[in-house]
């Protein structure tokens, strides 16, 4: 079965949505909504998912891109999060090679700082115990220096190495959505829920939807569903507010800087306490760049607008860089891009934002099921929990079908193997069922990598043809990630991208010019290292 989104897909999805009927409508096309739609469709429920912007537009493309157990949550005694996260990480490593890959983490130890060696030994022992495999070991200061020559040596007494994993968060969402479609779900982007329908007894019984796509004429529809799930992340209070729910979300912004690897080379992730507040901050290699992050501050901006890094967050990350890698003399001026995302954290009024729990919640209010909080890594545990809770409202369905291990569908390798094993693994991880078609679509020369990234020109062609790109920003910020990997958001390769993508998208020159202008403005105001 094809799970791609080729020309005409939005109209087909709209018609199917209006036709119904639906057991479950999921609002929000981030990892939480995608995970729920996938499990629901696989359990035989008639499932639809709608997203107001692009799939993964929200926090799920703006995370730290780590599939991790959350070592730091042990310090906050959030054992449930760590247990679910480690299980999620291990499952994803097993079934999604090429999309989720192991990454070595180094934690330097400095004289007189905490946590000290004994505490870390205990924490890492517990962490490994949950995973059922030992990954950590102690390193001498000399070993640390050999692995990271630029690391601060003053007071360094040694360190630890352990394993977690990285992913491409937006691609993970796309892959989970493809699984959902393969099981029969209908998914539509640029479709905004403007209100909730209620039945005679006041219970939520559907959604009022508006098509926000450039070709949809802003059409509207009311779509009935037995169960409506609010998976709108940090914006979850908005829909809850419409049915009388009190605000409970504390939106916390986290921002990252992206450096070119020639300016900031790293083979391992390095994490240490920030000199100002002791929060762990990390630098790590990711898809041809080095990421530095993150911050944790209250977000007061409008949730419908792109979040962006503030000057004080930039200064915070720079302070950590000069403390940890002093010889490199790095500043935001060396970075190619920034990216900010907003955590959907349940507020309990703690003074320190980082002390708020990262556990997910499932709330049922007047028939609306809100699922938020949690982490990218734990999306499948969240989905299974949510469906278990919804089950009684759907006549006992879904059953608890599927275990934690089939977290995304494993993919077999296509016969065509012109690629090196590592490149093929990556193509499979990203394009899943469509990998053979994506490879076959590449024209001569398009198997080459786009310089400065791990993407190939054929990734651009395939995304434009079959991955539901509606605006240019969808292509450059989420199908591939050139917008955060190349200087000026990839301005230097936009002409080549235009030559490949414009005909595939069916856009005329005027449409391309308008899209490019909008993308450049967006990049300058939200993704530049120092946004305007």
Ligand X SMILES: Cc1cc2nc3c(=O)[nH]c(=O)nc-3n(C[C@H](O)[C@H](O)[C@H](O)COP(=O)(O)OP(=O)(O)OC[C@H]3O[C@@H](n4cnc5c(N)ncnc54)[C@H](O)[C@@H]3O)c2cc1C
Binding residues for ligand X (CB under 6 A): 27-33, 50-53, 57-60, 63-66, 68, 192-193, 231-235, 254, 294, 341-344, 372, 374-377
Q: For ligand X, which is the closer residue by CB, 139 or 163?
A: 163
Separation between Cα atoms, residue 173 and residue 477, nearest integer Å:
14
- Which tokens in the block code for residue 504? 């595939």
Q: For ligand X, which is the closer residue by CB, 254 or 367?
A: 254
Least Å distance between CB 214 and ligand X?
17
Q: For ligand X, which is the closer residue by CB, 284 or 519?
A: 284
Centroid of chain to Cα 28: 13
CA-nearest of 343, 361, 363, 362 to 353 is: 343
Q: For ligand X, which is the closer residue by CB, 3 or 59?
A: 59
- Which tokens in the block code for residue 255? 């921002």
Residues 6+ apart with CB under 8 A from 200: none
**What percentage of the chain's residues is helix, strand, coil (to nearest 5)?**
40, 25, 35
Separation between Cα atoms, residue 287 and residue 185, nearest integer Å:
31
Q: For ligand X, which is the closer residue by CB, 264 or 282?
A: 282
Least Å distance between CB 284 and ligand X?
10
CA-nearest of 224, 258, 226, 509 to 390 is: 226
Q: For ligand X, which is the closer residue by CB, 272 or 372?
A: 372
- Which tokens in the block code for residue 159? 């360190």
Least Å distance between CB 66 and ligand X?
3
Least Å distance between CB 295 and ligand X?
8
CA-nearest of 384, 58, 1 to 192 is: 58
Helix crossing, 379-390 with 79-95: angle to 10°? 110
Q: For ligand X, which is the closer residue by CB, 66 or 151?
A: 66
Q: For ligand X, which is the closer residue by CB, 20 or 414?
A: 20
Separation between Cα atoms, residue 63 and residue 60, nearest integer Å:
6
CA-nearest of 272, 253, 299, 280 to 73 is: 280
Least Å distance between CB 319 and ligand X?
18
Look at the alpha carbons of 72, 77, 81, 86 in this order and tell me if their dihedral is positive or negative. Answer: positive
For the stretch 416-427, what's the b/e string if a residue is b when 16 or more beta carbons lie within 10 angstroms of its beta carbon? eeebeeebbbbb
Q: For ligand X, which is the closer residue by CB, 294 or 354?
A: 294
Q: For ligand X, which is the closer residue by CB, 353 or 442?
A: 353
Cα separation values, 46 from 185, 217, 362, 423, 446, Å = 7, 27, 21, 37, 39
CA atoms within 13 A on the CB side of 139: 22
Least Å distance between CB 372 and ligand X?
5
Least Å distance between CB 389 and ligand X?
16
**Residue 427: strand, helix, or coil:** helix
Q: For ligand X, which is the closer residue by CB, 252 or 273?
A: 252
**Residue 110: strand, helix, or coil:** strand
Least Å distance between CB 123 and ligand X?
18
The radius of gyration computed from the CA coordinates of the chain, to the nearest angstrom, equals 23
For the stretch 433-444, what's the b/e string if a residue is b when 16 or more beta carbons lie within 10 angstroms of its beta carbon? bbbbebbebbee
Least Å distance between CB 472 and ligand X?
18
Least Å distance between CB 339 and ligand X?
8
Q: For ligand X, which is the closer residue by CB, 58 or 367?
A: 58
Q: For ligand X, which is the closer residue by CB, 25 or 144?
A: 25
Least Å distance between CB 357 and ligand X?
12
> Residue 267: in which H helix or E strand, if any?
none
Least Å distance between CB 192 and ligand X?
5
**Residue 398: strand, helix, or coil:** coil
Is the CB of residue 272 less than 8 Å from the CB of residue 321? no
Cα separation values, 464 from 15, 304, 362, 467, 476, Å = 22, 25, 36, 6, 10
Least Å distance between CB 528 and ligand X?
18
Separation between Cα atoms, residue 415 and residue 403, nearest integer Å:
29
**Residue 255: strand, helix, or coil:** strand
């Amino acid at each position: 079965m094809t799970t791609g989104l080729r020309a005409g897909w939005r109209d087909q999805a709209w018609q199917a949505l209006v036709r119904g009927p639906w057991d479950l409508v999921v609002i929000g096309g981030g990892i939480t909504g995608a995970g729920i739609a996938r499990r629901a469709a696989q359990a035989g429920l008639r499932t639809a998912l709608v997203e107001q912007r692009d799939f993964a537009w929200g926090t799920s493309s703006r995370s730290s891109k780590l599939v991790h157990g959350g070592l730091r949550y042990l310090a906050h005694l959030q054992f449930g999060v760590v247990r679910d996260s480690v299980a999620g990480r291990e499952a994803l490593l097993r079934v999604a090679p090429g999309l989720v890959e192991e990454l070595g983490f180094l934690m330097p130890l400095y004289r007189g700082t905490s946590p000290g060696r004994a505490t870390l030994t205990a924490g890492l022992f517990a962490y490994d115990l949950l995973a059922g495999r030992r990954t950590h070991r102690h390193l001498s200061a000399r070993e640390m220096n050999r692995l990271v020559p630029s690391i601060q040596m003053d007071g360094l007494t040694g360190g630890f190495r352990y394993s977690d994993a990285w992913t491409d968060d937006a691609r993970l969402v796309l892959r989970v959505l493809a699984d959902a479609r393969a099981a029969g779900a209908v998914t539509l982007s640029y479709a905004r829920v403007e209100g909730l329908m209620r039945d005679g007894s006041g219970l939520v019984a559907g959604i009022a939807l508006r098509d926000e796509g450039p070709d949809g004429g802003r059409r509207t529809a009311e779509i009935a569903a037995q169960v409506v799930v609010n998976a709108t992340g940090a914006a979850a209070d908005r829909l809850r507010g419409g049915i009388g729910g009190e605000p409970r979300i504390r939106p916390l912004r986290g921002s990252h800087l992206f450096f070119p690897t020639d300016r900031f080379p790293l083979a391992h992730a390095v994490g240490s306490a920030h000199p100002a507040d002791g929060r762990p901050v990390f630098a790590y290699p990711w898809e041809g760049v080095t990421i530095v992050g993150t911050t944790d501050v209250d977000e007061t901006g409008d949730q419908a607008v792109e979040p962006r890094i503030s000057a004080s967050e930039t200064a915070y990350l720079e302070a950590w860089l000069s403390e940890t890698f002093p010889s490199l003399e790095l500043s935001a001026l060396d970075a190619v891009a920034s990216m900010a995302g907003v955590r959907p954290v349940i507020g309990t009024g703690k003074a320190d934002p980082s002390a708020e729990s990262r556990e997910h919640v499932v709330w049922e209010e007047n028939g609306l099921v809100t699922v938020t909080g949690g982490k990218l890594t734990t999306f499948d545990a969240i989905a299974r929990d949510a469906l278990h809770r919804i089950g009684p409202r759907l006549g006992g369905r879904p059953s608890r079908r599927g275990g934690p291990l089939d977290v995304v569908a494993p993919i077999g390798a296509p016969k065509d193997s012109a690629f090196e094993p590592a490149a093929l693994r990556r193509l499979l991880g990203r394009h899943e069922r469509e990998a053979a078609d994506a490879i076959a679509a590449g024209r001569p020369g398009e198997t080459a990598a786009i310089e400065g990234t791990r993407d190939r020109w054929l990734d651009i062609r395939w995304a434009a043809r079959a991955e539901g790109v509606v605006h240019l920003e969808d292509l450059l910020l989420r199908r591939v990630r050139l917008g955060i990997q190349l200087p000026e958001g990839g301005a230097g390769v936009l002409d080549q991208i235009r030559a490949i993508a414009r005909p595939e998208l069916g856009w005329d020159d005027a449409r391309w010019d308008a899209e490019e202008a909008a993308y450049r403005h967006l990049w300058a105001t939200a993704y530049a290292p120092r946004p305007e």
